[in-house]
Chain A
Amino acid sequence: MTVHVSLEQLSSYLDLELAEPERLGLEHHLHDCASCRGRLDGLRSVVARLERLEQQAPPSELAFLVERRVAAEADRLGLQGRLERTIKTLFIQPSMTPIFGLVVALALILYLFSFGVARQQIRGTRLVVPVSPAAPVARMIAGREFIRTDGVWVERGLEPTAPVTVLELGVEIPVELLPFAGLGERVRLIQDGQVVEVVFPRAAD
């Protein structure tokens, strides 16, 4: 059985990358082996064709596009570089260290001061919550509607009317007025065709 030369050996032989003994052995084998010679010729042809491949010229505008992008990059790096250099100077130069420390301390004080002021402002500010006008409080007693106005329960329809009679009750409350006693101290209502404001006694009285 014939042992052929490896593909890597043939390829490296074309590139003159074989050591002398290996090269001599390979050439000896090629002399006797038509199959390996054929394979080597095929590889040689491929290499020759690759070497002849035309190099294409880049598009004419490419240089301009590169120049533009590089200029933008230079601007960016310039700004970044200046900033880095400034920071380095502040950190590294011994003469600048106290000044840098002072600036940092000042910045810290300003920050803490502004933080304190902000907290103070939050604490001292009266919280104002906008409210919509309250809806009138109303209750129905014995089929009659009463509305709470200026601390007085006023029967619906009597709001603008001033009471004709103010009835101050003692401990005893007339039976017909008892349901209205639950409304509160003062109730303005129609009693016997008259507008009466009844002052009920306080619970503690």
Chain B
Amino acid sequence: MSTAPVVMPSPATEIDLIERHRIGDPSAFEEIYSQHEKMVFNLALRMTRSPEDAAELTQEVFLRVYRHLERFRGSSTLKTWVFRIALNCCRSRFRRRRLTFREPSPGDDDALERIADPRADPERDALNSGLGERLDAALRRVPLAFREAVVLRDVHGFSYDEIGEILRIRIGTVRSRIARGRERLRCMLESEQ
């Protein structure tokens, strides 16, 4: 399965992809995978903070996507649908393993660093690494409900409406969770300075 550069498809292309999958074209799923793999992996990584868990979760997510793709009716975008599956997988895992408020272990950040993006700019990485680590550490102390909303909004760039669809909550709740998540982060980061 190739991992080509990500180009998000338009809704029309998405319907075409689903149709190709329905008639048994294996390349359709490969395209869906390559379009969403990195985002799903990073979402799982932000939620679990463990590269191993994130990789495992990504497999589960795409297995579910494959299993239920024929039922996708296009009422939301494919990306929204995939992210909803991804967050459901994360929550299931949290319930099973009680990772929700897991304290960071010393090996976590080292393990994360080992997964280097070959396309990333090393200088920019060096500049960002300190800030990123502190932010990641703060993020993992934010309660799950707020963290989900903040990550979807500020890391993955979803609109409030899309977040409402993914999390199946009202817009008012989306606003509230994003605000409270950001506020928690602001307090934690300012207290460190």
Q: Are B41 and A17 in contact (CB under 8 A)?
A: no
Measured in the bound complex, the distance between the Cα atoms of B127 and A52 in whole Å is 11
Residue in B46, B115, B135, B182 whose CB lies within 8 Å of A43: B182
CB contacts under 8 Å to A, within B154-193, are 154-155, 157, 160, 175-176, 178-180, 182-183, 185-186, 189-190
Let me know if A140 is at the binding interface, CB within 8 A.
no
Chain A residues with Cβ under 8 A from B183's Cβ? 7, 11, 43
Are B118 and A57 closer than 8 Å at their CB atoms?
yes
Q: Does A46 contact B (CB under 8 A)?
A: yes
> Would A49 and B135 count as touching, CB distance under 8 A?
yes
Closest-by-CB residue of B relative to A49 is B135
With A12-B179, A62-B59, A66-B58 as given contacts, are A54 and B186 in contact (CB-CB < 8 Å)? Answer: no
Known: A8-B176, A46-B186, A54-B120. A69 touches B59 (CB 8 A): yes
The answer, yes or no, to whether A131 is at the interface (CB within 8 Å) is no
Tell whether A77 is near chain B: CB-to-CB under 8 Å: yes
Dominant secondary structure of chain B at its interface with chain A:
helix
Q: Is the CB of B154 within 8 A of A50?
A: yes
Known: A63-B1, A65-B59, A66-B62. 7 other contacts (CB 8 A): A42-B186, A46-B185, A47-B154, A47-B182, A49-B189, A50-B135, A52-B131
